[in-house]
Amino acid sequence: MKGWTGNILRINLSNKIYKKETFTEEFAKKWIGGRGFALKILWDELKPGTDPLGPDNKLLVVQGPISGVPMPNSGKTIVAAKSPLTGTYGDGNIGSYITIQMRKAGYDIIIFEGKAPSPEYVFIEDDKVSFLSAKEIWGKGTFEAQDWLEKKYGKTAGILSIGQAGEKMVLYAIIRSMQGRSGGRPGIGAVMGSKNLKAIVVKGTKEIPLADSKAMRDRGRADLRKVGEMDKKARWSVQGTNAVLSWCNEMWALPVRNMRHSHHPDAWKLDGQRTSEARVATYGCPNCTMRCGIAILDKEGHESEIDYENVGMLGPNLEIFNLKQMASLNYLCDDFGMDTISGGSALSFYADAIDQGATTGDFKFGDAERAKELLRLIARREGIGDFLALGSLKMAKKIGKNSEAYAIQCKGLDLSAYNCKYVPGQALAFGTSAIGAHHKEAWIITYELTYSERGAYGRDKAQKVVELQRIRSSIFESLPICRFPWIELGWDLKNYSDYFNLATGSNWTIDDFTKRGDRIYALLKAFWTREHPDTDRTADYPPRIYFDPSIADKEGPAAGKHLEYDKYDALLDHYYDIRGWDKRGVPTRQTMESVGLAKEAEQLAKVAKVEEATVVSGSREQ
């Protein structure tokens, strides 16, 4: 087999037994890598109802066939587990040297099982695995932990670690690497903490097996130069992702005050120009050609690496418009190892619930100092922090009083920083994202606001969501690789199939990927259904507040407008129809069989209702 190493390293943390296993080429070509591998393994190996924070959950670190090879932006790794936030499959991608080191150590997949008896970190050096005490870094933030591990193993060692939030199992804890990279929004850091696993360190010395090493090396070198030059010419890295903030504000799609508002006159104080002017350093992932990590100094003088999602959720969403204060909140989230999006959303939900009289407490929108105190309490799960550590949906369920309506989440995962209260297609993208509301799944908001009628609920929008879910699930999450050169610089999608073919000796087209994207998406939704057998279409609804006329903007391009249930349902019907799912949003047996999931359909039917065939409302489009 070429491209893939074909190896799985299975590590049991409870009894410290590890073994090398192999996977077949058939498995590799069916699931590609990254998300595809993780999803299939967790489907096969986790019993329905497994406690996400119990020892029976499994933490996977996964690569793909072009991971770590010298080509543009190939430094991404998938971390995956059953999510404590959503109760279904969850994953994230993270830029890290572990991408390269794992492949050089000879593994595409590492599976962590069980729970270490005391805090540990694991050091993997080619075929050797060491279980080491983490007592010197347990209780420390991710910056100190990474620093300590880098001093011991070198700056280019593959290191993943968690902060105090992961140790204390804050439900939206993430995994960190390289002092600035984060991944695993659905609480994958909490799963790592539940296993008493502070860090993973990998070093490898082997060759990555490639079908055509010379062609890969030559093309990779040329493209690294080419895409780097494209970025220099386009000047994308000058503002990086935070350029999006101004656009969202101009289009009235900015998260403001727990998304009750969609525009703010002070948003410019946090925009891409301001963060670019305040920049003290720029960081990126391994093999990056367009570094997006813009570091600015926070109020306390720390370097705080920001991108748009951080700024949006910790700035306007909390009505904090002081750049340094917003940067402080971002720094604390990064150091504690918690998701800035869900962290920002938990805080904004709390302030909103107090405002609405649903609960009492000492926090108001705009209070940055109190927000910092709350983040510290969350990371330690002390006092009110223990409640805020649950994420907005579980907080709302505890509060009651209709507060779930303004918990800004889908399936338990909080929305990224795009206010969709009058953007139905993007609301559909968040609603149908099978891992919860994540912008990496299908980001159609620019299409919708530029090339389509904003308030329309046409089939074209459902088609666009499906198209992007196919591409992102199969190419960007499963190879896995960074999407920025494709969209931001217009680097042709065909480049990714070219590299895949050079690595594996295959002759795939983009269609070969997107067909697998349908398989992956069907199994993602089957996973959700297996864990939530009573699921219905409301699981694919955006936050209820978006349908509330009372929060419609009073001015601007969406003045007086809000989502409407009957129209959204019609849009959802289009989506299900295109996907071949039933009216509850569950893949039918016919659909699962058509994408090679006959056995999985049988397994699903044992715990949940599976319709035989789709109730067709129009022509199927594949």
Partner 1 sequence: MKIRVILIGQFVPRLGFSEKVVEVPAPFTAGDLAAQLGLGEVNKLMAKNGRGIAGGEPLKDGDRVVIAPIFSGG
Residues that bind partner 1 (CB under 8 A): 234-236, 238-239, 241-244, 246-247, 250-252, 272-273, 307-312, 416-418, 439-440, 443, 446, 449-452, 454, 483-484, 486-488, 490, 556-558
With beta carbons less than 8 A apart as the criterion, state whether 303 and 350 touch: no
Closer Cβ to partner 1, 138 or 443, answer by number: 443
**Min CB(446)–partner 1 separation in Å:** 6
Nearer to partner 1, 446 or 463 (CB): 446
Report the relative pairing of strands 7-12 and 109-113 from DSSP bridges: parallel
Nearer to partner 1, 245 or 378 (CB): 245
- Six token digits for residue 488: 């931001």
Q: Of 100 and 444, which has the nearer Cβ to partner 1?
A: 444
Q: Are 327 and 296 in contact (CB under 8 A)?
A: yes
* Shortest CB 543 distance to partner 1, Å: 18
344 touches 313 (CB < 8 A): yes
In sequence order, what are the residues at sequence separation of 6 or more whose Cβ sits closer than 8 angstroms to the Cβ of residue 339?
Answer: 172, 173, 174, 182, 185, 333
Q: Rounded distance, CA 584 to CA 486, Å?
A: 34
Q: Which residue, 215 or 456, is less far from partner 1 as judged by CB?
A: 456
Q: Considering Cα of 324, then 328, then 334, then 335, what sign does the dihedral take? A: positive
CB of 290 to partner 1, least distance (A): 11
Residue (112 or 252) nearer to partner 1, CB: 252
Of 37 and 484, the one with the shorter C-beta distance to partner 1 is 484
- Measured from the CB of residue 74, what is the shortest distance to partner 1 in angstroms? 17
Taking the complex as a whole, how short is the minimal distance between the CB of residue 415 and partner 1, in angstroms?
12
Closest to 516 in 3D by CA, of 39, 48, 185: 39
CB nearer to partner 1: pick between 167 and 305: 305
d(CA 47, CA 62): 21
Q: Least distance to partner 1 from the beta carbon of 448, Å?
A: 8
> Across the chain, how many H-helices and E-strands are there?
25, 17
The sheet with strand 109-113 has its strands ordered as 17-22, 7-12, 109-113, 59-62, 76-82, 89-95
Distance CA 585, CA 138 (A): 42
Secondary structure letter of residue 412 according to DSSP? T
CB of 605 to partner 1, least distance (A): 36
Tell me how far apart the 2 most distant CA atoms of the chain are, in Å.
66
What does the alpha-carbon distance between residue 148 and residue 473 come to, in Å, rounded to a whole number? 35
* Inter-residue contact 431 to 537 (CB < 8 Å): no
Closer to partner 1 by CB, 178 or 444: give it.
444
Residue 396 C-beta: closest distance to partner 1, Å: 25
Q: What is the DSSP string of 452-505?
A: S-TT---HHHHHHHHHHHHHIIIIITTTT--SHHHHTT---THHHHHHHHHHH-
The answer to whether residues 56 and 62 touch, using CB atoms and an 8 Å cutoff, is no
Residue 416 CB, shortest distance to partner 1, in Å, is: 7
Q: Give 484 or 576: the residue with its C-beta nearer to partner 1.
A: 484
Question: Between 404 and 488, whose beta carbon lies closer to partner 1?
Answer: 488
Do residues 478 and 64 touch, judged by C-beta distance below 8 A?
yes
Query: Which contiguous run of DSSP H or E holds residue 133?
Result: strand 128-133
User: To the nearest whole angstrom, how small is the minimum distance from the Cβ of residue 340 to partner 1?
Assistant: 10
Residue type, 111: I
Q: How far is the CB of 513 from partner 1 (least distance, A)?
A: 17
Q: How far is the CB of 31 from partner 1 (least distance, A)?
A: 24
CB of 319 to partner 1, least distance (A): 19
| 3-state per-residue secondary structure call for 254-312 | CCECCCCECCCCCHHHHCHHHHHHCEEEEECCCCCCCCCEEEEECCCCCEEEECHHHHH
- The three state secondary structure string of 554-611 is CCCCCCCCCCCHHHHHHHHHHHHHHHCECCCCCECHHHHHHCCCHHHHHHHHCCCCCC
CB of 607 to partner 1, least distance (A): 34
- CB nearer to partner 1: give 451 or 565: 451
Residues 558 and 590: beta-carbon distance below 8 Å: no
Q: Smaller CB distance to partner 1: residue 131 or 247?
A: 247
Which one, 366 or 455, has the nearer CB to partner 1? 455
Coil, strand or helix at 331: helix
Closest by Cα among 584, 566, 593, 583 to 617: 583
